[in-house]
Amino acid sequence: MVKIPFACTECHLILEDGVDMCPRCPSAKVSTDHQGYVIIMNASRSEIAKRLEVELPGKYALKVSNR
């Protein structure tokens, strides 16, 4: 069985296995209902990072539902 990781509903960061609270947005909800992902290595040079308003490297979900 594949375990779906949580993603932050605010910054869209995909969290590590077993983590259920975003280290960047501790008060934000997390969700397993997310679609697509992108790995940002250099946010200052990435068009996708600019569109997602991402400033730090990491693995991010493209769409996160906060139901």
8-47 confidence digits (pLDDT tens): 999 999 999 889 999 999 999 999 999 999 999 999 999 9
37-56 confidence digits (pLDDT tens): 999 999 999 999 999 899 99
Give the separation between CA 11 and CA 7, rounded to whole angstroms. 8
| C-alpha torsion sign, points 53, 59, 63, 65 | negative
Domains of the chain and any CATH numbers: 7-64 (2.20.28.90)
* The pLDDT of residue 1: 73
**This prediction's pTM:** 0.87
Beta strands in 1-57 (DSSP E): 7-8, 30-31, 34-40
Residue given tokens 């996160």 in the structure block:
64
Give the separation between CA 35 and CA 62, rounded to whole angstroms. 6
